[in-house]
A and B are shown apart, each in its own frame.
Chain A
Amino acid sequence: LAKTTQPISMDSYEGQEVNITCSHNNIATNDYITWYQQFPSQGPRFIIQGYKTKVTNEVASLFIPADRKSSTLSLPRVSLSDTAVYYCLVGGPYSSNTGKLIFGQGTTLQVKP
């Protein structure tokens, strides 16, 4: 599994757009990039997944440059309820099938009023 590096913490204010960048310099050709969200005292929740270019769903957007060595999770107009830990994971079909997700420390996002 590719190692990922992301900021330990970020602060934002309600209504702002938040971008969390994850570095994964040794990503392999078959690897996907996946983001999870975890609220306090809850299990992680899958947010979004991508392979290349841009992916958007009702929760977030994921931007992946052509070299795929980094990715950026974008949360539009955050609210207080978006305060959570965000994890970036990178891995291929083998680790997907075995469930061997490696969750690092993640990025703790604090949204202020």
Chain B
Amino acid sequence: NAGVTQTPKFQVLKTGQSMTLQCAQDMNHNSMYWYRQDPGMGLRLIYYSASEGTTDKGEVPNGYNVSRLNKREFSLRLESAAPSQTSVYFCASKNSQVPYEQYFGPGTRLTVT
């Protein structure tokens, strides 16, 4: 039982390049989330998916797109990376039975130059 996995662990992009961050969970959770965390700050929600086939914007969605490929996988895409998107990105999933108990992946550290 791996929990929540994310790939890649690290990535460096040039401004304007695109990339997709991958996330998968093996806990049969319905809800999945993407957050970003900037240095010294708390996490901010980018997008979430309450169930397979649905996605919704969070607090900071501009510059990102998401795809809920199936119940296990939820990807985050940067179409044209900008230096302001330099951050650590965390994916999470949630057991619908327990309010607020989310399981987080190890994170992807992204640098945009």
Q: Does A98 contact B (CB under 8 A)?
A: yes
Cβ A98 vs Cβ B48 within 8 A:
yes
Given contacts A99-B33, A101-B43, are A32 and B59 in contact (CB under 8 A)? no
Cβ B42 vs Cβ A102 within 8 A:
yes
Q: A21-47 vs B: 1/0 string, CB under 8 Å?
A: 000000000001010000001111110
Point out the residues of chain A lying under 8 angstroms from B104, CB to CB.
Answer: 42-45
* CA–CA, A91 and B99, complex, Å: 9
Cβ B50 vs Cβ A103 within 8 A:
no
A residues with a Cβ closer than 8 A to B are 32, 34, 41-46, 49, 87, 89, 91, 93, 96-106
The interface-forming segment of B11-19, B64-72, B90-98 is B90-98
Interface set, chain B 68-113, CB cutoff 8 A to A = 90, 92, 94, 96, 98-107
Cβ B42 vs Cβ A99 within 8 A:
no
Can you sample 11 A-B contacts with CB below 8 Å?
A32-B100, A34-B100, A42-B106, A43-B104, A43-B106, A44-B90, A45-B104, A46-B101, A87-B42, A89-B100, A99-B33
Cβ B100 vs Cβ A43 within 8 A:
no
Whole-angstrom distance from the CB of B35 to the nearest CB of chain A? 8
Q: Which residue of B lies closest to A47 (CB)?
A: B101
